[in-house]
Chain A
């Protein structure tokens, strides 16, 4: 059976998304997609002592939630894949102490969720595993203090900044078609693209070319037509990044018009003052596991693209004057029948 198309596109035949579960923070609860999420925190600390512990608990909560929803026992999950934004991906790793499954920690910044779906699909389609949990997420307060400033420091935010979303999303991938919501059929692992953007506030602009590169590669490899897709979701480009991506794609003769959505840009309302919208690994994870899967359940979507974008920087590299290299992974998700 054909496993690859063109240069970079992988083809999957038996990868099904069984169930998804999303946990969102209080700000996301009051945002545009507030009603979609399975569970919303009322308080960022989630009853824990520190924000890091809260993030860890959020991941555990999402895994337990998705297992419960899919009626699976923890020992039926062979492998868990995932990552978060903190140094040494501690939050997910620490959450894994509670489970007996094998664990592969992944990091592609905000594109981690797409990456975990991609790796998970390979493992399942290769016949190595039957059930896999993919998990990713981020927390505003932990990311803010690692990447930017302490919370109580008074700073004027630049109008190009985005707001790190709080939340975590978990999906179960399975090779069993029974009761599946949708199916992952193709995937592109992206290349690192760096166009020299040094402004760490302007992540959308830095990531847009990477998203463009991967999406263009996908359409070149597969010769698919845009009309066949109901929607194209990007990870966390924000409003500005989405606008730039639209321009970039147009020059590559790909015009999605109103089919292009950005998970980060669709999270918040205008009056929540997030400027360009959401960012962070949580964006694609929670939007995929709530909004997108719901649309598949309601049979409104037949075929979509999900391009998770990530800015691969650390505070250290930006102090050393490095630019921001970015990556995007793209997945084609279809309804089952």
Chain B
């Protein structure tokens, strides 16, 4: 932790107090102070594990694709099929309680691949099953991953329409 000298925190606090009910303060001096004293995540370690785990998941995807192609499945279909297999594997890993341990150190390495999307759907489904099959499992399945589908559909549709209008 960095030591900060010659700063009077009393003044910082006085200047930072939020009194109005409209909390539209972007930055207070106290936030800067806290930022300076807070421990930072270890960039090198985090980035290394994200690269390593993310790379492994993609490599696994490539192995599946290659195996499928060798068995006479068309390239494009193989790619979709491989994604589905990865999604299914990640769903099972989530159920078995492995995926959250992976995410603990891999960070984005386990979030950004399609397996992270699967994890984001399955984890709330398992978690909220206790609230019933409909409002629990059914509704909560999309709490984390729903925005991905929603934004994906909206943006793909928008891009397609722009292409249509521009006549590309």
Give the interface of A toward B (CB within 8 A).
Answer: 49-50, 52, 145, 149-160, 193-198, 202, 205, 209, 212, 240, 243-244, 247-248, 251-252, 321-323, 325
Instruction: Give the CA-CA distance A65 to B42 in the complex, in Å.
Output: 44
Selected contact of B37 from candidates A154, A194, A240, A322, CB within 8 Å:
A240
Q: How many residues of B contact A (CB 8 A)?
A: 48
The 10 A-B pairs with the shortest beta carbon distances in the complex, nearest first, are A154-B103, A156-B107, A150-B127, A196-B28, A152-B123, A153-B123, A195-B30, A195-B16, A150-B123, A205-B34
**Whole-angstrom distance between the Cβ of A95 and the nearest chain B Cβ:** 18
- Are the CB atoms of A159 and B34 closer together than 8 Å? no
- Are the CB atoms of B119 and A197 closer together than 8 Å? no
B106 at the interface (CB under 8 A from A): yes
Pick the most buried of B34, B42, B105, B128: most chain A CB atoms within 10 A of its CB: B34
- Are the CB atoms of B122 and A160 closer together than 8 Å? no
B1: chain A residues at CB < 8 Å are 243
Q: Which chain B residues in 30-76 approach chain A with CB under 8 Å?
A: 30-31, 34, 37-42, 46
7 additional A-B pairs beyond A152-B119, A194-B18, beta carbons within 8 Å, are A150-B127, A150-B128, A152-B126, A153-B120, A159-B38, A159-B39, A196-B16
Instruction: Give the CA-CA distance A325 to B25 in the complex, in Å.
Output: 13
Selected contact of A150 from candidates B37, B46, B107, B126, CB within 8 Å:
B126
Instruction: Give the CA-CA distance A193 to B19 in the complex, in Å.
Output: 9
Q: List 25 A-B contacts (CB under 8 A).
A: A49-B130, A52-B130, A150-B126, A150-B128, A152-B94, A152-B95, A153-B100, A153-B120, A153-B144, A154-B99, A155-B104, A156-B41, A157-B104, A159-B38, A159-B40, A193-B17, A194-B23, A196-B18, A196-B31, A202-B34, A209-B30, A240-B38, A248-B10, A251-B10, A323-B23
- Are the CB atoms of B9 and A196 closer together than 8 Å? no
Question: Number of contacts between A and B (CB, 8 Å)?
Answer: 121
Instruction: Give the CA-CA distance A50 to B126 in the complex, in Å.
Output: 12
**Whole-angstrom distance between the Cβ of A170 and the nearest chain B Cβ:** 26
User: Which residue of A has the minimal Cβ distance to B120?
Assistant: A153
- Are the CB atoms of B9 and A247 closer together than 8 Å? yes
User: Which residue of B has the minimal Cβ distance to A213?
Assistant: B13
B138 at the interface (CB under 8 A from A): no
Instruction: Give the CA-CA distance A114 to B128 in the complex, in Å.
Output: 32
Q: Per-residue CB proximity of B134-164 to A under 8 Å, as 1/0? A: 0000000000100000000000000000000
Selected contact of A243 from candidates B37, B97, B119, CB within 8 Å:
B37
B83 at the interface (CB under 8 A from A): no
- Are the CB atoms of B106 and A152 closer together than 8 Å? no
**Whole-angstrom distance between the Cβ of A249 and the nearest chain B Cβ:** 9
Instruction: Give the CA-CA distance A151 to B123 in the complex, in Å.
Output: 7
Instruction: Give the CA-CA distance A212 to B13 in the complex, in Å.
Output: 10
A248: chain B residues at CB < 8 Å are 9-10, 13
User: Which residue of A has the minimal Cβ distance to B41?
Assistant: A159
B97: chain A residues at CB < 8 Å are 152
Selected contact of A50 from candidates B34, B46, B110, B130, CB within 8 Å:
B130
A154: chain B residues at CB < 8 Å are 94, 99-104, 106, 110-111, 116, 119, 123
